[in-house]
Structure 1
Amino acid sequence: MLNALEVFTTVLVGVMVGVEFSVAFVINPILNALPEDSGQLGRAHGGRLLGAVMPVWYITSLVLVAVWAIAGWHRPGSGLVVTAGALLTVSVVMSILLLVPINNRSKTWTPESRPEDWKEQSNRWDRFHYVRVAVIIAAFALLAAALT
Protein backbone atom coordinates (compact mmCIF):
# COMPACT_ATOMS: atom_id res chain seq x y z
CA MET A 1 0.00 0.00 0.00
CA LEU A 2 2.84 2.40 0.80
CA ASN A 3 4.41 1.66 -2.59
CA ALA A 4 1.19 2.66 -4.33
CA LEU A 5 1.08 5.90 -2.31
CA GLU A 6 4.68 6.66 -3.23
CA VAL A 7 4.13 6.12 -6.94
CA PHE A 8 0.80 7.96 -7.01
CA THR A 9 2.24 10.92 -5.14
CA THR A 10 5.30 11.10 -7.38
CA VAL A 11 3.17 10.98 -10.52
CA LEU A 12 0.76 13.61 -9.17
CA VAL A 13 3.62 15.98 -8.30
CA GLY A 14 5.32 15.22 -11.62
CA VAL A 15 2.25 16.11 -13.64
CA MET A 16 1.84 19.30 -11.57
CA VAL A 17 5.45 20.18 -12.36
CA GLY A 18 4.75 19.58 -16.05
CA VAL A 19 1.74 21.89 -16.03
CA GLU A 20 3.57 24.65 -14.20
CA PHE A 21 6.66 24.24 -16.40
CA SER A 22 4.51 24.53 -19.53
CA VAL A 23 2.82 27.66 -18.17
CA ALA A 24 6.22 29.26 -17.57
CA PHE A 25 8.05 28.20 -20.71
CA VAL A 26 5.36 27.49 -23.32
CA ILE A 27 1.95 29.00 -22.63
CA ASN A 28 2.94 32.44 -21.30
CA PRO A 29 5.54 33.04 -24.03
CA ILE A 30 2.90 32.15 -26.63
CA LEU A 31 0.36 34.48 -24.99
CA ASN A 32 2.94 37.26 -24.73
CA ALA A 33 3.57 37.02 -28.49
CA LEU A 34 -0.09 37.40 -29.47
CA PRO A 35 -1.18 40.69 -31.00
CA GLU A 36 -2.91 43.52 -29.20
CA ASP A 37 -5.05 42.47 -26.23
CA SER A 38 -5.23 38.74 -27.00
CA GLY A 39 -2.36 37.79 -24.71
CA GLN A 40 -3.74 39.67 -21.73
CA LEU A 41 -7.18 38.15 -22.26
CA GLY A 42 -5.61 34.69 -22.52
CA ARG A 43 -3.65 35.19 -19.32
CA ALA A 44 -6.80 36.34 -17.52
CA HIS A 45 -8.64 33.24 -18.70
CA GLY A 46 -5.72 31.02 -17.70
CA GLY A 47 -5.63 32.71 -14.31
CA ARG A 48 -9.28 31.89 -13.75
CA LEU A 49 -8.96 28.29 -14.93
CA LEU A 50 -5.69 27.35 -13.25
CA GLY A 51 -6.43 29.58 -10.27
CA ALA A 52 -9.33 27.26 -9.47
CA VAL A 53 -7.45 23.98 -10.01
CA MET A 54 -3.91 24.55 -8.80
CA PRO A 55 -4.61 25.31 -5.12
CA VAL A 56 -6.29 21.92 -4.75
CA TRP A 57 -3.45 20.25 -6.63
CA TYR A 58 -0.73 21.89 -4.52
CA ILE A 59 -2.42 21.13 -1.20
CA THR A 60 -3.25 17.55 -2.21
CA SER A 61 0.36 17.00 -3.25
CA LEU A 62 1.62 18.40 0.03
CA VAL A 63 -0.79 16.26 2.08
CA LEU A 64 0.18 13.10 0.18
CA VAL A 65 3.88 13.84 0.68
CA ALA A 66 3.25 14.33 4.41
CA VAL A 67 1.39 11.01 4.60
CA TRP A 68 4.25 9.34 2.70
CA ALA A 69 6.82 10.87 5.06
CA ILE A 70 4.92 9.68 8.15
CA ALA A 71 4.06 6.23 6.83
CA GLY A 72 7.54 5.64 5.45
CA TRP A 73 9.54 7.20 8.25
CA HIS A 74 11.36 3.92 8.88
CA ARG A 75 12.32 3.41 5.22
CA PRO A 76 15.40 4.60 3.35
CA GLY A 77 14.80 7.87 1.55
CA SER A 78 12.50 9.33 4.18
CA GLY A 79 14.79 12.36 4.53
CA LEU A 80 14.36 13.04 0.84
CA VAL A 81 10.58 12.89 1.23
CA VAL A 82 10.65 15.25 4.20
CA THR A 83 12.83 17.69 2.25
CA ALA A 84 10.47 17.45 -0.74
CA GLY A 85 7.60 18.22 1.62
CA ALA A 86 9.46 21.25 2.92
CA LEU A 87 9.99 22.47 -0.64
CA LEU A 88 6.33 21.95 -1.47
CA THR A 89 5.48 23.93 1.66
CA VAL A 90 7.72 26.74 0.40
CA SER A 91 5.90 26.63 -2.95
CA VAL A 92 2.50 26.90 -1.23
CA VAL A 93 3.67 29.81 0.94
CA MET A 94 5.16 31.52 -2.13
CA SER A 95 1.90 31.01 -3.97
CA ILE A 96 -0.23 32.46 -1.20
CA LEU A 97 2.01 35.43 -0.45
CA LEU A 98 3.38 36.33 -3.89
CA LEU A 99 1.54 34.79 -6.81
CA VAL A 100 -2.12 34.51 -5.76
CA PRO A 101 -2.54 38.23 -5.02
CA ILE A 102 -1.33 39.13 -8.52
CA ASN A 103 -3.40 36.34 -10.09
CA ASN A 104 -6.54 37.42 -8.23
CA ARG A 105 -6.18 40.87 -9.73
CA SER A 106 -5.14 39.85 -13.23
CA LYS A 107 -7.86 37.26 -13.77
CA THR A 108 -10.46 40.03 -13.68
CA TRP A 109 -8.68 42.37 -16.09
CA THR A 110 -10.08 43.28 -19.45
CA PRO A 111 -8.50 45.68 -21.94
CA GLU A 112 -10.86 48.33 -20.60
CA SER A 113 -10.32 47.69 -16.88
CA ARG A 114 -6.68 46.70 -16.54
CA PRO A 115 -4.32 49.01 -14.64
CA GLU A 116 -1.59 50.93 -16.40
CA ASP A 117 1.08 48.72 -14.85
CA TRP A 118 -0.54 45.43 -15.90
CA LYS A 119 2.52 44.34 -17.89
CA GLU A 120 4.81 44.96 -14.93
CA GLN A 121 2.49 42.97 -12.66
CA SER A 122 2.38 40.13 -15.20
CA ASN A 123 6.17 40.16 -15.46
CA ARG A 124 6.45 40.09 -11.65
CA TRP A 125 4.11 37.08 -11.55
CA ASP A 126 6.27 35.38 -14.19
CA ARG A 127 9.47 35.94 -12.19
CA PHE A 128 7.92 34.53 -9.01
CA HIS A 129 6.52 31.64 -11.03
CA TYR A 130 9.99 30.75 -12.40
CA VAL A 131 11.26 30.45 -8.84
CA ARG A 132 8.23 28.36 -7.83
CA VAL A 133 8.79 26.05 -10.81
CA ALA A 134 12.41 25.54 -9.75
CA VAL A 135 11.27 24.72 -6.20
CA ILE A 136 8.68 22.16 -7.29
CA ILE A 137 11.09 20.58 -9.80
CA ALA A 138 13.52 20.08 -6.92
CA ALA A 139 10.73 18.55 -4.80
CA PHE A 140 9.78 16.22 -7.64
CA ALA A 141 13.40 15.15 -8.15
CA LEU A 142 13.70 14.34 -4.43
CA LEU A 143 10.51 12.26 -4.54
CA ALA A 144 11.76 10.38 -7.58
CA ALA A 145 15.09 9.75 -5.85
CA ALA A 146 13.28 8.51 -2.74
CA LEU A 147 11.60 5.82 -4.85
CA THR A 148 14.93 4.22 -5.71
Structure 2
Amino acid sequence: MLHALEIITIVVTGLMVGVEFAVAFVLNPIFNALPGDSGQLGRAHGGRMLGAVMPFWYIGSLVLSALWAIAGWHHRGAGLVVIAAALLILSVIMSLLLLVPINNRSKTWTPENRPEDWKQQANRWDRYHYLRVAVIIAAFALLAAALA
Protein backbone atom coordinates (compact mmCIF):
# COMPACT_ATOMS: atom_id res chain seq x y z
CA MET A 1 0.00 0.00 0.00
CA LEU A 2 2.82 2.41 0.86
CA HIS A 3 4.47 1.76 -2.49
CA ALA A 4 1.27 2.63 -4.35
CA LEU A 5 0.97 5.85 -2.34
CA GLU A 6 4.57 6.74 -3.17
CA ILE A 7 3.99 6.23 -6.89
CA ILE A 8 0.69 8.14 -6.93
CA THR A 9 2.29 11.02 -5.02
CA ILE A 10 5.23 11.22 -7.40
CA VAL A 11 3.02 11.07 -10.50
CA VAL A 12 0.53 13.68 -9.26
CA THR A 13 3.26 16.03 -8.04
CA GLY A 14 5.39 15.48 -11.13
CA LEU A 15 2.51 16.32 -13.46
CA MET A 16 1.82 19.49 -11.47
CA VAL A 17 5.47 20.50 -11.68
CA GLY A 18 5.45 19.83 -15.43
CA VAL A 19 2.41 22.03 -16.01
CA GLU A 20 3.80 24.86 -13.90
CA PHE A 21 7.21 24.57 -15.60
CA ALA A 22 5.48 24.74 -19.00
CA VAL A 23 3.53 27.83 -17.95
CA ALA A 24 6.73 29.58 -16.83
CA PHE A 25 9.09 28.60 -19.61
CA VAL A 26 6.88 27.74 -22.60
CA LEU A 27 3.37 29.20 -22.52
CA ASN A 28 4.01 32.66 -21.06
CA PRO A 29 6.98 33.33 -23.37
CA ILE A 30 4.76 32.33 -26.30
CA PHE A 31 1.95 34.60 -25.06
CA ASN A 32 4.42 37.46 -24.56
CA ALA A 33 5.59 37.14 -28.18
CA LEU A 34 2.11 37.23 -29.72
CA PRO A 35 1.09 40.42 -31.52
CA GLY A 36 -1.44 42.92 -30.26
CA ASP A 37 -3.74 41.88 -27.46
CA SER A 38 -3.50 38.14 -28.14
CA GLY A 39 -0.93 37.47 -25.43
CA GLN A 40 -2.90 39.25 -22.74
CA LEU A 41 -6.06 37.42 -23.76
CA GLY A 42 -4.19 34.10 -23.70
CA ARG A 43 -2.82 34.78 -20.23
CA ALA A 44 -6.30 35.71 -18.98
CA HIS A 45 -7.76 32.50 -20.38
CA GLY A 46 -4.92 30.46 -18.88
CA GLY A 47 -5.49 32.17 -15.54
CA ARG A 48 -9.15 31.20 -15.59
CA MET A 49 -8.53 27.63 -16.71
CA LEU A 50 -5.56 26.77 -14.51
CA GLY A 51 -6.84 28.92 -11.66
CA ALA A 52 -9.77 26.54 -11.39
CA VAL A 53 -7.65 23.37 -11.37
CA MET A 54 -4.37 24.19 -9.65
CA PRO A 55 -5.71 24.68 -6.09
CA PHE A 56 -6.88 21.05 -6.07
CA TRP A 57 -3.58 19.91 -7.59
CA TYR A 58 -1.45 21.78 -5.05
CA ILE A 59 -3.53 20.67 -2.08
CA GLY A 60 -3.74 17.13 -3.48
CA SER A 61 0.04 16.91 -3.83
CA LEU A 62 0.45 18.24 -0.31
CA VAL A 63 -2.08 15.79 1.16
CA LEU A 64 -0.51 12.85 -0.67
CA SER A 65 2.95 13.88 0.56
CA ALA A 66 1.68 14.21 4.12
CA LEU A 67 0.05 10.78 3.93
CA TRP A 68 3.29 9.33 2.59
CA ALA A 69 5.24 10.96 5.43
CA ILE A 70 2.84 9.54 8.02
CA ALA A 71 2.55 6.07 6.48
CA GLY A 72 6.27 5.80 5.83
CA TRP A 73 7.50 7.45 9.01
CA HIS A 74 9.76 4.53 9.95
CA HIS A 75 10.96 3.88 6.40
CA ARG A 76 14.05 5.12 4.65
CA GLY A 77 13.58 8.55 3.05
CA ALA A 78 10.85 9.76 5.43
CA GLY A 79 12.84 12.88 6.27
CA LEU A 80 13.02 13.82 2.60
CA VAL A 81 9.26 13.39 2.27
CA VAL A 82 8.67 15.64 5.30
CA ILE A 83 10.90 18.34 3.79
CA ALA A 84 9.10 17.96 0.45
CA ALA A 85 5.75 18.38 2.20
CA ALA A 86 7.08 21.50 3.94
CA LEU A 87 8.10 22.91 0.56
CA LEU A 88 4.64 22.15 -0.81
CA ILE A 89 3.15 24.01 2.16
CA LEU A 90 5.43 26.94 1.26
CA SER A 91 4.23 26.78 -2.35
CA VAL A 92 0.59 26.95 -1.23
CA ILE A 93 1.34 29.93 1.04
CA MET A 94 3.21 31.66 -1.80
CA SER A 95 0.28 31.00 -4.10
CA LEU A 96 -2.29 32.42 -1.70
CA LEU A 97 -0.30 35.49 -0.70
CA LEU A 98 1.53 36.40 -3.91
CA LEU A 99 0.14 34.79 -7.04
CA VAL A 100 -3.60 34.30 -6.53
CA PRO A 101 -4.35 38.00 -5.91
CA ILE A 102 -2.70 38.96 -9.20
CA ASN A 103 -4.29 36.03 -11.03
CA ASN A 104 -7.76 36.90 -9.71
CA ARG A 105 -7.41 40.36 -11.22
CA SER A 106 -5.72 39.39 -14.48
CA LYS A 107 -8.08 36.58 -15.43
CA THR A 108 -10.88 39.14 -15.86
CA TRP A 109 -8.88 41.57 -18.00
CA THR A 110 -9.75 42.33 -21.57
CA PRO A 111 -8.10 44.92 -23.82
CA GLU A 112 -10.96 47.26 -22.89
CA ASN A 113 -10.78 46.98 -19.09
CA ARG A 114 -7.19 46.12 -18.20
CA PRO A 115 -5.31 48.58 -16.00
CA GLU A 116 -2.47 50.74 -17.28
CA ASP A 117 0.08 48.70 -15.32
CA TRP A 118 -1.13 45.30 -16.51
CA LYS A 119 2.26 44.39 -17.98
CA GLN A 120 4.02 45.21 -14.71
CA GLN A 121 1.51 43.08 -12.80
CA ALA A 122 2.01 40.21 -15.28
CA ASN A 123 5.79 40.52 -14.89
CA ARG A 124 5.43 40.47 -11.08
CA TRP A 125 3.29 37.33 -11.34
CA ASP A 126 5.96 35.75 -13.57
CA ARG A 127 8.74 36.49 -11.06
CA TYR A 128 6.75 35.00 -8.20
CA HIS A 129 5.85 32.04 -10.38
CA TYR A 130 9.52 31.34 -11.22
CA LEU A 131 10.25 31.20 -7.49
CA ARG A 132 7.26 28.91 -6.86
CA VAL A 133 8.37 26.62 -9.70
CA ALA A 134 11.80 26.34 -8.08
CA VAL A 135 10.15 25.41 -4.77
CA ILE A 136 7.92 22.71 -6.27
CA ILE A 137 10.78 21.30 -8.37
CA ALA A 138 12.79 20.96 -5.16
CA ALA A 139 9.82 19.23 -3.49
CA PHE A 140 9.44 16.86 -6.43
CA ALA A 141 13.16 16.07 -6.45
CA LEU A 142 13.04 15.25 -2.74
CA LEU A 143 10.06 12.95 -3.24
CA ALA A 144 11.91 11.16 -6.04
CA ALA A 145 15.06 10.93 -3.91
CA ALA A 146 13.04 9.42 -1.06
CA LEU A 147 12.33 6.43 -3.30
CA ALA A 148 15.96 5.95 -4.29
TM-score norm. by structure 1 comes to 1.00
Q: Where does structure 2 lack aligned partners over 5 or more consecutive residues?
A: none
SS in 2 for 1:35: coil
Amino acid of the structure 1 residue aligned with 2:5? L
Shift of residue 116, structure 1, vs aligned partner: 0.2
Shift of residue 28, structure 1, vs aligned partner: 0.1
**Quick one: distance in 2 between partners of 1:121 and 1:59?**
25
The within-5 A match list for 1:41-60 is 41-60=41-60
**Quick one: distance in 1 between partners of 2:11 and 2:64?**
11
Q: Where does structure 1 lack aligned partners over 5 or more consecutive residues?
A: none
Percent identity reads 79
What is the root-mean-square deviation in Å for CA atoms of aligned residues? 0.3
**Quick one: distance in 1 between partners of 2:61 and 2:133?**
14
2:72 matched residue in structure 1: 72
After TM superposition, what 4+ stretches of structure 1 lie above 4 angstroms from structure 2? Answer: none
Shift of residue 77, structure 1, vs aligned partner: 0.3
**Quick one: distance in 2 between partners of 1:92 and 1:107?**
19
2:35 matched residue in structure 1: 35
**Quick one: distance in 2 between partners of 1:74 and 1:81?**
12
Say how many residue pairs are matched: 148
Corresponding position: 1:131 with 2:115: no
